[in-house]
Structure 1
């Protein structure tokens, strides 16, 4: 992280707080301004506008840090007009994201054939034509072809796998549970569940994988199957369980 051209810090609730802000202001912002102005051989007055976030220290405290740097808070209720990310960018992105991925998520959870995506789209267009015809063009842009559904379900699966892998890397201890059953075609499947706890005592319990059992389903077969996928899928040691 130190080799990257970014400033990184952490906080338990993953939010900015007054300690982090003052540290950034004194050690990063003021230092950067001084370094930039020293190249020109002269210190100049600098203004830093801030919104009224409660994590920001008072102007009086901040303005005492350097005589050439002045901090000024913006007037109340204007951040939505002045700050680009407060102008609906995130909300718009979330809406487009849900529009593109929700139907595929429904199909995957319901174990429906991927080809039914087009049928779902037809139903959506019919309902839209009755309830909100002015939005029908937006619904027509949604692609629910079999290939698109497959690709997006793979994206969802990869995202879930990455998130679970990151969580498992922080486990202090863990346990696994195994359940042998059969699928719709009566083929034996091994469901592996993992339960772990991290330093913050946050408990995670998820389905880790579903592995096919090709031959018999004895205890030895199940153990060998776990031994086979464990090193490639799980980056934690058996000694932690």
Structure 2
């Protein structure tokens, strides 16, 4: 039986988003989601114990109907403020905030920096970027994702690559595997493949993920890392991967 602790909050998911309160005055602590006793995601957040300075969100549409248990290692007073909705907290005023850029792309919430994996496929420009979805400062490095038909109007999609047990998601590239070189294709469309650096555990490794639905959902290659390194990046050894090269 799943053991609940004082800082655990079980929520049966019926909406698209979990809205999380943030305060920069709080220290960062780990937050973990578990489903059926298995970790679903883990990240660092400054969970507001008092009045939030702003709100961030988790897209949990893939977990509808399931019970998510949220645990937090810091001040757990903010757990009671978490709520689910089909709208992001503050959505009505989004992109009308003071100092919000109106021409250059900005993410709905959180930190954004280096672009990665930019690619054009079937009328869509794909922009991936370094992203912390849970704070306005650098942390939890992930690949955010947005698409555009004209590079002016952008639609932000769910985070493509999130931190895992190997580490956080750093820079990389993307290609369309028209010839099924990697062996992931299952018909049309061809696989969109991302290769990227993972930073963690005193070293960096090279990994791969693929999408079979034009970048909307991503699967990390089960044979990751493609290239592993010794601590501090002093040497590399190649691991067996899929046949051929991209």
Larger helix percent: 1
TM above 0.5:
no
Larger strand percent: 2
**Greater relative contact order, per chain length (Cα 8 Å cut-off, separation 6+):** 2
Return the TM-score normalized by structure 1: 0.23
Return the TM-score normalized by structure 2: 0.23
